[in-house]
Amino acid sequence: MTATISLHDEAPDFDLSSTEDALLMLRDEVPRTPVLLYLFVDPDSARVRGDLASLAEQHPTLAKTGVKILCMSASKMPVLKALQVEMQLPFPLLRDDRDFMASYGIQSVEEGEEAASALYLVNMFQKVDWLANPLSSVEEVMGELRSIIKKQGSSTANYPKSVINRLVDRWLN
C-alpha cells in the first residue's frame, strides 16, 4: 500500500546512492536548499525522458534560486548512470533500492500499465511546499512551480547578516 503525501506534510526521509557515487540523504540536503524531487519508474518512457530534459533545461534557473534537483528511480544503477550520461543531466539520479518511492505514493507497475511519476518541492524544514502527483509533465507544471519558488524568496532573506555569518562560521569550524 502506498502512502499519500499532501501539501505541508513532512517529506519522507531517504538515504540513497546516487549516480555521482555518493550517498544522498534528504535530511542533509534540505537545511541548505529547497529540493525539487522528481520520482519516476520507467527510465525508457518517452514521458520520463521529456521530463528529465525539461528539468535539465530548467536547472540553471532553479540553481540560481537555490533549488536543488534530485531524481529518484528504482532502476538499477548502471541504467541510471547510462541515462545521466546519455542525456547529459546536470543533477544526480538516485537509486531507490529500498522502496522509498512508495512512501511518496509511487510504486512499481505491472507490465502494460502506465508508470506514474511525481514532482515534489521540499522546503528547508523538510515540508512539502508544492506537489504534482500524478505528474502530467514537468513542462506543463513548470510555470506554476517557478511562481511558488519565486514567492518563497531567498532562504536567507529573512535572516540578519550577523546571523548568517555566525551560521557560516559555525558550519566551517
Q: Is the pLDDT of residue 112 over 50?
A: no
Contacts of 125 (CB under 8 A, 6+ apart): 30
In a domain, residue 40? The reply is yes
In a domain, residue 2? The reply is no
pLDDT tens, 56-88?
999 999 999 999 999 999 999 999 999 999 999
Rounded CA-CA distance 59/53 in Å is 10
Q: Cell for 156?
A: 536567507
In a domain, residue 50? The reply is yes
In a domain, residue 33? The reply is yes
In a domain, residue 149? The reply is yes
Query: How many domains would you assign to the chain?
Result: 1
Q: Which domain holds residue 34?
A: 15-172
In a domain, residue 21? The reply is yes
In a domain, residue 107? The reply is yes
CATH number, domain of 85, equals 3.40.30.10
